[in-house]
Homo-oligomer: A and B are copies of this chain.
Amino acid sequence: MDSQTASCAGLLKVLSDETRLAVVRLLLEEPRRVGQLSQDLHVEQSLLSHHLKVLREAGLVETQRDGKSVLYSLSPSMRRRARGEAIDLGCCLISFAGR
């Protein structure tokens, strides 16, 4: 059980929350402001903010001031093309290929 597996589990834990996963999927489409996310997901502002902090600290998302609001986007380094054998969860594929 290498340390790589440990940190990977940690990242999966970040994504294993319904709200955070939904945020990431929305940001996979395009950047959005917090207010938009809050409306789209029907999640109260404060709670969403806490979740966004977790995503930030995990390096999954990045922020950018936009006047009064803040624009969230998926970290560019997180974008990749998948290929190779994977685990099919039905909802998504998890692949370890080439690692």
Q: Does A88 contact B (CB under 8 A)?
A: yes
Contact of A5 among B22, B74, B87, B99 (CB under 8 A): B22
In this complex, how many residues of chain A approach chain B with their Cβ under 8 Å: the count is: 49
Q: Does A70 contact B (CB under 8 A)?
A: no
How many copies altogether? 2
Q: In whole angstroms, what is the CA distance A24 to B6 when docked?
A: 13
Residue pair A19, B4 in contact (C-beta under 8 Å): no
Q: Which of A64-93 contact B (CB under 8 A)?
A: 74, 77-93
Q: In whole angstroms, what is the CA distance A92 to B14 when docked?
A: 14
Contacts of A41 in B (CB 8 A): 1
Assuming the contacts A1-B41, A8-B21, A85-B79, asked whether A95 and B93 have C-beta atoms less than 8 A apart, the reply is yes
Interface residues of A (CB under 8 A from B): 1, 4-13, 15-22, 24-25, 28, 41-43, 60, 74, 77-97, 99
* Minimum-distance CB pairs A-B, first 3: A8-B91, A82-B86, A80-B88
